[in-house]
Structure 1
Amino acid sequence: MTLLSKIVERLAFGCVLLGGLGLLIAMLLGVGDVIGTFFNHPLPGALEVTESTMVLIVFGGLAYAQIRRRHIRVELAYLRAGPRLRSVMDIIASVSAIVFFSLLAWQGWNEALYSLSIKESTFGIVRFPLYPARFALVLGSVLFILQLCLDLVNDIRHFGNPPDYEIA
């Protein structure tokens, strides 16, 4: 289990780095586009690239946020609950997320394969392929599912005695 945890953590960290790089690219393109528009020369393709990097930014960070247990939850209710109810809440949240993101990954995979087969791309001055963003969605979802499964096993193992997570 620890080997799988380490592999997922390294892959998740790599996805976070790619998401950070995507954010930097989107930011630079946005700034360049605004400045270019001011001088009547907007950057062609800035919108299309930014749209695709948004998928990488969001789905690239899901698994890493789960590793750190930094996803949003209603702390007011969670902190007032007893240890057994906290364990039940953690288990229900993990199972629900596993079901939802499994469906998302499944359909995302179908869409990514279809997008690749038809060589789907954006409309505009610069034609940017859409299938890399669709595969990024699938990769981020699958890593998130793997981490949720690891956490679910851990939550079941420590039922009634959930670890105290840092509250930011």
Structure 2
Amino acid sequence: MQTLSRAVQRLAWLSVFIGGVGLFLSMFAGIADVVTSKFGHPIHGAYELSESVMVLVVFGGLAYAQIQRKHIRVELIYLQAGPRMQSLMDVLADLAGIAFFGLLLWQGWNEALYSLSIDEATSGAVRFPLYPARFALAFGAALYLLQLLLDLCADLALLARGTGGRLKDDAAHLER
């Protein structure tokens, strides 16, 4: 289990890094496109590049954010609940995420394969293939799903022990 967890962490970090590099390149392409457009020579494909890179940024960061437990959640009730109830809420959140991202992975993979088979591309000035972004979506969803499964195992163990509650330190910090 530890080996799988470390592998997911490394892949998640790599996904975030690749998404960050892609965002950086997309930013420069966008700036260059704006500047060169002022002189009547826009950079063709900058828009299409930024569209595909956004998939990397969003889906590449999902697993890493889950590892850090930094996804947005409403803590109003969570912080008032006891450890066992917090563990139960964590388990329910894991199960909901597994169901949603399992469906997303299933359909995302089917769409990626279909996109590859028809050589789907943008219809702009530069023909930019869409299947890499679709595979990035499927990869990010799969990585996130793996992390959710690992978290579910950990949260079920905490629930069984009755020692759940991941935000005790954060709650103490907020009370100061």
Give the TM-score normalised by the residue count of structure 1: 0.96
What is the CA-CA distance between 1:55 and the residue it aligns to? 0.3
Secondary structure in 1 aligned to 2:77?
helix
Aligned length: 168
* One-letter amino acid of the structure 2 residue matched with residue 112 of structure 1: A
* One-letter amino acid of the structure 2 residue matched with residue 78 of structure 1: Y
| Distance in structure 1 (CA, Å) of the matches to 2:60 and 2:22 | 10
What is the CA-CA distance between 1:77 and the residue it aligns to? 2.0
The reply to whether residue 72 of structure 1 matches residue 61 of structure 2 is no
Give the TM-score normalised by the residue count of structure 2: 0.92
Stretches of 4+ aligned residues off by more than 6 angstroms: none
Look at both structures and tell me which one has the larger radius of gyration over its CA atoms. Answer: 2
Task: Please give the root-mean-square deviation of Cα atoms over the aligned residues, in Å.
Answer: 1.3
Match of 1:164 in 2: 166
What is the CA-CA distance between 1:164 and the residue it aligns to? 3.0
Identity in percent: 58
Once the two structures are superposed, residues 56-84 of structure 1 have per-residue CA deviations (whole angstroms, 9 ceiling, x without a partner) of: 00000000000010000012221111111
Match of 1:112 in 2: 112
The reply to whether residue 28 of structure 1 matches residue 51 of structure 2 is no
| Distance in structure 1 (CA, Å) of the matches to 2:82 and 2:29 | 49
**Structure 1 portions without partners, runs of 5+:** none
**Structure 2 portions without partners, runs of 5+:** none
| Distance in structure 1 (CA, Å) of the matches to 2:153 and 2:103 | 20
